[in-house]
């Protein structure tokens, strides 16, 4: 799992699964609390994701809302969206709508 930052956006690439959740969680909370800002998590370069990883995103969303911030997911591939719905975590996270093609 590689994590790069672009302003308030965390760009994840690679495999986002149980092995990388601590790394991603730390990056999210560092951005939320150290920079006192909302966080956008770009998943467009993520090869695969599992439910454990999605639970980390849901927990980060809840914790951010408690302090008046937002965590928003961007670039969710169809497989990620499907897993969010199957796991019933779609209600727990904020997903940006994809821009309509021009």
Encode the chain (102 residues) as per-residue pLDDT tens digits.
999 998 889 999 999 999 999 999 999 999 988 777 899 999 999 989 999 999 999 999 999 999 899 999 999 999 899 999 999 999 999 999 865 454
Asked if the structure places residue 76 within a domain, the reply is yes
pLDDT of residue 91: 92
Quick check: 39 and 71 in contact, CB under 8 A?
yes
Q: Determine, yes or no, domain membership for 102.
A: no
Provide the number of structural domains found in the chain: 1
- Cα-to-chain-centroid distance, residue 24: 9
Is residue 78 domain-resident?
A: yes
What is the phi/psi pair of residue 9, to 5°?
-100, 130
100 in a structural domain:
no
What's the sign of the alpha-carbon dihedral 80, 27, 22, 91? Answer: negative
47 within domain boundaries: yes
- Length of the chain counted residue by residue: 102
Ordered alpha helix ranges (H), the chain = 21-29, 51-66, 78-86
Residue 27 within any structural domain of the chain: yes
Tell me the whole-structure pTM to 2 decimals. Answer: 0.88
Domain range for 81 is 2-95
Residue 101: inside a domain: no
Q: How far is CA 36 from the centre of its chain?
A: 17
Question: What's the CATH number where 33 sits?
Answer: 3.30.750.24
């Amino acid at each position: 799992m590689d994590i790069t930052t672009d302003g308030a956006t965390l760009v994840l690439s690679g495999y986002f699964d149980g092995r990388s959740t601590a790394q991603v969680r730390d990056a999210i909370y560092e951005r939320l609390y150290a920079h006192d800002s909302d966080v956008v998590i770009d998943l467009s370069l993520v090869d695969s994701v599992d439910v454990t990883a999605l639970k980390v995103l849901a927990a980060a969303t809840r914790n951010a809302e408690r302090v008046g911030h937002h965590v928003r997911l961007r670039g969710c591939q169809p497989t990620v969206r499907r897993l969010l719905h199957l796991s019933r975590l779609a209600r727990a996270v904020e997903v940006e709508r994809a821009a309509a093609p021009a």
